[in-house]
Structure 1
Amino acid sequence: MALETLLLFLPAAFLLSLVPGPDNLGVLALGLAQGRREALGFALGCSAGCLNHTLLAALGVTALLRGSPLALGALQWAGAAWLAWIGWQTLRSRPGISPQEAAPDVEGFTQQFRRGLIANAINPKVALFFLAFLPQFVSPQGWATGWQIAVLGLLFAICATLIFSGIALTAARLGGWLRRHPRSAATLHYGSGLLFLALALRLLLSPLDAQPRAG
């Protein structure tokens, strides 16, 4: 894989990770409303989900899914349902500092990691994005196509980890100050739940044949 290819790919991966979507908006909302641990968990889960899409693209599974409107539609409904469930669970819980944030264990982190992983892994728009984006940087004179896609996908996941973690830490710092005020804490808490519901609706209503995006 040529160095010139990587020098083009990495800035593009960083910029695309910043494009507003369910992943980075979810990280932002959790950082503001719940704190660093939960936001970092969701951020790393979303980044790990990119590896799932990389594997599917490298094996050609995503290309097969693209040819099946029924399978893509099922994934779209599943992804929207999962985001809506996260939003509903957030709205049902009480605002303020959660027991997970106050306790020394990592329950809040692992729960949000699992949520982020699933939210990204079953998002068909991310799958189609990887199928459209990664092959553009594959060199016919390089390694086998599958291996090049695997390396590019891993690099994209690393870029996403850095961007999402930065968003998580920044939002958590700001949210920590805002959550000291009961009214602000409640607004952030319920606002994050409503954001996940809005993201679910956005995913459900967006056409899958539109230009693929990272989120």
Structure 2
Amino acid sequence: MPDLNSLIGFTLIAVGMAMTPGPNMVYLVSRSICQGPAAGLVSLGGVALGFVVYMLCAAFGITALVLAVPYAYDAVRFAGAVYLLWLAWQAVRPGGRSSFEVRSLPKDSPRKLFLMGLVTNLLNPKIAVMYLSLLPQFIDPANGSVLLQALVLGTIQIVFSVAINAMIALSAGSISTFLTARPGFATVQRWIMGTVLAGLAVRMATEARR
């Protein structure tokens, strides 16, 4: 089992990344606003399955392969940091858009909503960064089975991400209306998200390889 510090540290990062903008959040919010909260939750089901796929892939070999090649690990780590910095810039750049801005989308069937949620998550670089660059830093062979630690940490990420995204999907319409009426809050939201992303990028780039 991961030690307490690893559990707390990884949980905080998982929550922070779940609350920052990305393809998953944009897709879920757009679906919830255009087609209703139920559509957002169906889409979230696909996103959740994508999390499980990533977790199993990481637990059963991808993480071990990357860790076995130090230069490959560092390349992924720095690439992840650069990507997070790019996301931070996208959040705060002039003319940047909030994830809660209304986007017009056609109505889709539940099957398509689920599949699009799955595909969106599988192609989401932020989740790849989470499992390939961040998760290995919280795994210590001295604490027992590496596989078990990866599964425990991955489950924590899935539980918190699904819970946060479910609340966002259910309240997307109200949040969008609130931010539209108060553009100053939307600017503050984007700067907070950008700061969090930049902080994660710095942590990732400066973290020593375990």
**TM-score w.r.t. structure 2 length?**
0.58
1:76 aligned to 2:76?
no
Q: 1:23 aligns with which of 7, 17, 24?
A: 17
Conserved? CA contact 2:121–2:127, under 8 Å = no
- What one-letter code is carried by the residue in structure 2 that aligns with 1:77? V
Q: What TM-score comes out, normalization by structure 1 length?
A: 0.57
In structure 2, what is the equivalent of residue 166 of structure 1? 163
Is 1:120 aligned to 2:114, yes or no? no
Aligned residue number for residue 103 of structure 1: 108
Aligned-residue identity in percent: 13
Aligned length: 191
- Per-residue CA deviations over 1:8-39 (Å, capped at 9, x if unaligned) read x4987764554145522237993895443566
Cα 1:181–1:114 change in 2 (3 A) is same
Q: Distance in 2 between matches of 1:78 and 1:194?
A: 17
1:70 and 1:185 map into 2 onto residues whose CA distance is 41
AA paired with 1:30? Answer: M
Gaps of 5+ in 2: 33-39
Q: Does structure 2 conserve the Cα–Cα contact (< 8 Å) formed by 1:76 and 1:203?
A: yes
Distance 2:96 2:47 in 1: 14
Checking the alignment, whether the CA contact within 8 Å between 1:84 and 1:196 is kept in structure 2 is: yes
Q: Which consecutive unaligned segments of at least 5 residues does structure 1 have?
A: 139-147
Counterparts of residues 1-215 of structure 1 (less than 5 Å)? 5=1, 9=2, 15-16=8-9, 18-20=11-13, 22-26=16-20, 30=25, 33-34=29-30, 35=32, 36-37=40-41, 45=50, 48-54=53-59, 55-59=61-65, 61-65=66-70, 72-81=77-86, 83=87, 87=91, 91=97, 95-99=101-105, 102-104=107-109, 105-106=112-113, 109-110=117-118, 112-116=120-124, 118-122=125-129, 127=133, 129-138=135-144, 148-180=145-177, 183-184=180-181, 197-206=194-203, 208-210=205-207
Tell me the distance in 2 between the aligned counterparts of 1:193 and 1:206. 20
Q: CA RMSD in A?
A: 4.7
